[in-house]
Structure 1
């Protein structure tokens, strides 16, 4: 409704809201830029800590074995204690910061200037680290920073994945052959007596493993429901974990008794299933 003779209250309102929104947006952008600058400062400290740690490691005889890692762990523990952060997380961040500062200097400078965010920088490093040729990596970084100026970190990642494929001097088959050497299995302790088992390997067999245990878990829960046995309240993820654990440790799942489909506390142990191993 127009409440002023000859005027337009609706337009004035819109202008007022736009002015307020613009002011808030500018203030928010300035705050985000300041956070990026502070993050760059923290990364600079972490990178220096990593450099000091590597120097100390170099002074230790190679025969020291795992003791050679102590300088880095000690520094991470010291920094973590002061910042109230887990030392393992700090040590990982030290390594990441050292990579950023020394191999992606332009991205670090952009972060310090508040031009890009930590998310942008992480995407650039994640994809750019695959490029081993310094000149190719520098060209990639220049293009990546230009794109980062006009998009979000989430949208930047897929763009950079395609960009790496375009500038990569080696073929996918050659890179995959090298990447296979990084395969392995690790464990990571989490809370309440639980542990994660991490597997890194070629995509096809790893997806095949996940697909196989998914089918076995679905068959097991389906057979239990059809047989009218005790209803299992576990999620599919929990059933998958039970199936994989039992298959690895015992190499079998008893399709008659349900043995191997539970953890001894009810659950899948009460389900009779038809599973082909």
Structure 2
């Protein structure tokens, strides 16, 4: 942000308030750097615990389970020191060792406050499929990339670089990753839980896109119903209003129910997804204003895919040992397997030319 842009952000404040805002932001940046330095110190301490754990295992007489037993014991003690559960402590211990052993340049930047722990974790994640040389290459370039990017942005750039460094084809990597697809659940308290689906990117993105389109259609329908109700009966209160009983199959007027629907877009997405999974159709969320709900049945998922032309024609430079091709990108830079991309390209009526940076996958 330029100085002029920063001054625009402070518009409306008194001179004293503007000075205070600058001071607070400066202090916030200092606090972020200090927190990163502490995290770097914690990583170093956990890595040292890992080495001590291995030393204990080497001196043990318990055979093949020595390392596992030592890790469990040290993780439990680390959990007490960190006020976390043993499982989380063990995960942090493993991550700390990976950062320490495979990413020394990144660790140094973390300890200097130049990168955050989340940045360092992205470097580790991107380097997992690579050999030692590939991980070292990512490590040496990550600091310059990460200082000007969020952790998520850095992860996407590093994923592209890792794909180029990996000796395996993207098809092979995708097949290995696809074999680990899964659905998990996690309780988050207050009677709520999270359902996590890990599957092929195009299919998962398409599921989200379809639910999102359906939810937006319902939101538009509710807004139409609300405007119609207010034209006939006056403005609805923002809160505390219940739909009156006025006839209809279940004793309520569907138009009034639609007008009173104040759910947010994320809430509607969630309700629709649960409806579809539990009943095979979004039956509990028909479009009352139009009367049939047919609008939802016409919605189809859509995902934007960027495919380098060399991937489409399968040039020698882009062809792997199995005769396949490299990776393609979704609109936000996420990699997908090129076989899926070619199928999508073949089913597309028209193509739009988009320029990308080959070294990072960034779309221009």
Q: Deviation at 1:250?
A: 2.8
Q: 1:137 aligned to 135, 138, 149, which one?
A: 135
Indicate conservation of the 8 Å contact 1:219/1:273, yes or no. Answer: no
> Is 1:251 matched up with 2:317?
no
Q: Deviation at 1:248?
A: 1.6
Match of residue 84 from structure 1: 83
Q: Deviation at 1:92?
A: 2.8
* CA displacement, residues 226-245 of structure 1 (integer Å, 9 cap, x when unaligned): 46231211112111211211
Match of residue 126 from structure 2: 127
User: Aligned equivalents of 2:123 and 2:267: distance in 1?
Assistant: 35
Q: 1:272 to 1:92 in 2, by over 3 A?
A: farther
Q: 1:211 to 1:71 in 2, by over 3 A?
A: farther
Match of residue 293 from structure 2: 273
User: Aligned equivalents of 2:218 and 2:29: distance in 1?
Assistant: 53
User: Aligned equivalents of 1:78 and 1:144: distance in 2?
Assistant: 32
Q: 2:256 aligned to 224, 229, 232, which one?
A: 229
Higher RCO, Cα 8 Å, sep 6+ = 2
Point out the more displaced range, 174-183 or 105-114.
Answer: 105-114
Match of residue 45 from structure 1: 45
* CA displacement, residues 216-271 of structure 1 (integer Å, 9 cap, x when unaligned): 334445555546231211112111211211222233443xxx3xx49xxxxx9xx9
Q: Deviation at 1:109?
A: 4.3
Q: Deviation at 1:176?
A: 1.4
Q: Deviation at 1:72?
A: 5.4
Indicate conservation of the 8 Å contact 1:220/1:273, yes or no. Answer: no
Q: 1:59 to 1:153 in 2, by over 3 A?
A: farther
Q: Deviation at 1:197?
A: 0.3
Q: Deviation at 1:91?
A: 3.3
Other structure's SS at 1:199 match: strand
User: Aligned equivalents of 2:178 and 2:47: distance in 1?
Assistant: 29
User: Aligned equivalents of 2:140 and 2:273: distance in 1?
Assistant: 45
User: Aligned equivalents of 1:33 and 1:223: distance in 2?
Assistant: 47
Indicate conservation of the 8 Å contact 1:187/1:197, yes or no. Answer: yes
Q: 1:215 to 1:69 in 2, by over 3 A?
A: farther
Other structure's SS at 1:196 match: strand
User: Aligned equivalents of 1:60 and 1:189: distance in 2?
Assistant: 37
The answer for unaligned runs of 5 or more in structure 2 is 1-21, 226-253, 299-364
Q: 1:152 to 1:99 in 2, by over 3 A?
A: same
TM-score by length of 1: 0.64
User: How many residues align structurally?
Assistant: 234
Other structure's SS at 2:186 match: strand
Indicate conservation of the 8 Å contact 1:223/1:273, yes or no. Answer: no
User: Aligned equivalents of 1:84 and 1:165: distance in 2?
Assistant: 37
Match of residue 16 from structure 1: none
The answer for unaligned runs of 5 or more in structure 1 is 1-20, 63-67, 263-267
User: Aligned equivalents of 1:44 and 1:36: distance in 2?
Assistant: 12
**1:178-189 equivalent positions in 2, closer than 5 A:** 178-189=176-187
* CA displacement, residues 45-76 of structure 1 (integer Å, 9 cap, x when unaligned): 323445639959x95888xxxxx988756654
User: Aligned equivalents of 1:129 and 1:194: distance in 2?
Assistant: 33
* CA displacement, residues 165-193 of structure 1 (integer Å, 9 cap, x when unaligned): 43233332222122212211111111211
TM-score by length of 2: 0.51
User: Aligned equivalents of 1:194 and 1:69: distance in 2?
Assistant: 34
Other structure's SS at 1:189 match: strand
Q: 1:32 to 1:241 in 2, by over 3 A?
A: closer
User: Aligned equivalents of 1:246 and 1:191: distance in 2?
Assistant: 22
Q: CA RMSD in A?
A: 4.2
Other structure's SS at 2:183 match: strand
